[in-house]
Amino acid sequence: MTATTVDLVKYHGLGNDFFVALRGEEWVEVGAALARAVCDRHLGFGADGLLLLLASHQPSTQVRMRLHNADGSVAEMSGNGIRCFVQACLDGGVLGPGRVSIETDAGERIVEAGATDEEGIAQISVDMGTLVFDALPVLGGVPGEAVTVDVGNPHLVVATDERDIAAWGPKLEHPYLTGPTCGINVEFVTMLEPGVVEMLVWERGVGVTQACGTGAAAVAGAAARWGWDRSGVVTIHQPGGTAQVVLDGDRATLIGPSQRIGSFAFEWYR
């Protein structure tokens, strides 16, 4: 067994935390194993995912983002993750502030990023693309009205007063595990007042998390469909904090902070 030093920076978006490897090309072939090792909250440093900075394949994008969940699986897109990724690229001098275009496994995403302030926080908005409703059937005995929403990754949004997302999440995801999406993200949502909702999330490949950016976009779309929103702006309270989603028809823009936690040298034994 040999030790390899992996240089990483860590950020969080509303408590949804990620390591970023700015030299991602060095680790792309072993990204799944590295994610499992470093994201383990007992045997590693601990995080919800690992983001790799890669060279873009598309002429319209500046860089490429690859996201591994904590279990090593690849996720197509993360709204909180892409904010953390862009802030890391800004802080590392890879990108400049303003409008940037990022290649993801869900397609191109346009991001507007401000500079990191003295508390390590950057305010960032992400064009999440067009929401696709009912791309998957609603499966299983859901505890409320439900709709599936594709935000580049799959979501099951359930309107319910049920709070135990840790118990319900695996049950509701299970019917989707053998399908083409290899699982689904599950959000429980309650309307607090028109345009303001509370959300709990079970993330595919991770479990219960403090927040989910693509989930927030999916929830905003579902809220509009259910008549919970009249302004085109949905405020979403999550355990890790609050985000806003601006809707233009079925197109969603996610607005929220990301924050730098620190830099780490991970001694990876393999």
What are the C-alpha distances in Å from 11 to residues 95, 189, 193, 198? 16, 26, 31, 23
Could you tell me what percent of the chain has a pLDDT over 70? Answer: 100
- pLDDT tens by residue, 67-125: 999 999 999 999 999 999 999 999 999 999 999 999 999 999 999 999 899 999 999 99
> Which region holds residue 169: left if phi is over 0, alpha if psi is between -120 and 50, else beta?
alpha
Distances from the Cα of 269 to the Cα of 4, 10, 39, 199, angstroms:
6, 20, 14, 38
For residue 87 the two structure tokens come to 């802030």
Percent of the chain with pLDDT over 90: 94
142-176 pLDDT, tens digit each: 999 999 999 999 999 999 999 999 999 999 999 99
Triad 78, 83, 89: Cα angle to 5°? 120
pLDDT category at 1 given cuts 50, 70, 90 is: confident
- Quote the pTM value: 0.95
pLDDT digits (tens, 9 = 90+) for 212-226: 999 999 999 999 999
Asked if 105 and 67 touch (Cβ cutoff 8 Å), the reply is yes
Is the pLDDT at 230 greater than 90? The verdict is no
CATH topology of domain 3-128+256-269: Diaminopimelate Epimerase; Chain A, domain 1 (3.10.310)
Strands 241-248 and 16-21: unpaired
User: What is the arithmetic mean of pLDDT over 224-252?
Assistant: 95
CATH fold for domain 132-249: Diaminopimelate Epimerase; Chain A, domain 1 (3.10.310)
CA distance 158 to 87: 31
The backbone torsions φ and ψ at residue 221, rounded to the nearest 5 degrees and listed phi first, read: -65, -40
77 with 66: CB under 8 angstroms? no
Domain ranges (residues) in the chain: 3-128+256-269, 132-249
What pLDDT score does 2 carry? 87
